[in-house]
Amino acid sequence: MSAELAIGIHDLSFATTEFVLPHTTLAAHNGTEIGKYHVGIGLRSMSVPAADEDIVTMGAAAAKPVVARHGGDRIRTVVLATESSVDQSKAAGIYVHSLLGLPSSTRVVELKQACYGGTAALQFAVGLVRRDPSQRVLVIASDVSKYELDSPGEPTQGAAAVAMLVGADPALLRIEEPSGLFTADIMDFWRPNYLSTALVDGQDSVAAYLHALDGAWKDYTEQGGRRLDEFRAFCYHQPFPKMAYKAHRQLLRNAGLDSDESLVAHHIGDTTGYNSVVGNSYTASMYLGLASLLENAQDDLSDRTIGLFSYGSGSVAEFYAGTVVPGYRAHLRVREHDEAVTRRRPIDYAGYRALHQLSLPEDGGEHAVAAQTGGPYRLAALSGHKRIYRPR
């Protein structure tokens, strides 16, 4: 990136759901030793959407504090990344744009490429700001991770949205050039249009993730990127938190560096806090890791470089770097994010199962949606095959 124009993340906010299913409850149902969840995959609970929550309500809830703090006049673009889209044509971000009351002089688009989509949106935003540094771009990554009941993927489910304001002279993280890129055609995880739950080959997906990491890092170094020992911490996409540890050990070994567990923990440990209690949030996952790092690292990260690895099955990956801006702590949302997690209501297994199996009517009639969420926005009704969102 040119020295004269710093572009990056100016603000970051996240939201999650009304309900939470502790993994102790899931383990009691299926007879699994709790250590398989708490230790084996690094998860303690997962967010469960209420009947009237989806990617739109979470996305708007995440973005609301950003718009309240900075206003919407300079936001010329809204990019919503998701693999849980609510419509095959209309961008979910248009609903968010309306709920937030943003100006009509705004472009709104939706991006998709599995869990990588949030990073595609961020890089798109950086390019727009580089072209016109006076504008800001609102990037929203919002997803509901859903697998078949009693399937191997079920314990990794979750839901969350991250909203990021991207602009010049950012307050949190300066995005650097270059990026390392990797794409391969592989069916490790996918969801056909006719299914409501994802399909995944667990072993293939882990192998594809690690292969993509190798390829993206190789390209990053060939493009003139930083040495591995220049980074203070690394944020990885976390389909489950222990995947970040597995990935980082491989990256260190392949670079000929010590993969001692204390070093791995130093690089990764502060990034898993939110993901461990929210579960997999697909496009939002890596950026939940970034929020966790900025809010929980005990040392001052000012002017320290963070490595970020984004992976989306199918597959596309990107490795890039960001430098933390001095004074970043004054702009964090520690209290709000803690409240987003702690306000969730625990749900029993029967309640979770009922929500998992809930399907909205498809007959085009008039249907009110049960009011359950305590968040600021809700899916209120369906009418004539149209989704109707309202402030709560």
Catalytic residues: 83, 115, 237
120 backbone dihedrals φ, ψ, rounded to 5°: -60, -40
**DSSP label at 107?**
E
Q: Across the strands, what pairs with 113?
A: 115
CA–CA dist 35, 38 (Å, integer)? 5
CA–CA dist 193, 85 (Å, integer)? 10
Q: Which residues contact 390 (CB under 8 A, 6 or more apart)?
A: 377, 378, 380
233 backbone dihedrals φ, ψ, rounded to 5°: -150, 165
Number of Cβ atoms within 10 Å of the Cβ of 376: 14
Q: Across the strands, what pairs with 19?
A: 48, 345
As a 3-state breakdown, the chain gives helix, strand, coil percent values, each rounded to 5, of 40, 25, 35
Number of Cβ atoms within 10 Å of the Cβ of 217: 22
Q: Are 279 and 158 in contact (CB under 8 A)?
A: yes
Q: Write the single-letter amino acid at 155.
A: P
Q: Write the single-letter amino acid at 163.
A: A
Q: How far is residue 252 from each of residues 205, 245, 256, measured CA to CA in Å?
A: 20, 11, 6
CA–CA dist 313, 205 (Å, integer)? 7
Query: Rounded to 5 degrees, what angle do the CA atoms 301, 305, 306 make?
Result: 90
CA–CA dist 390, 392 (Å, integer)? 6
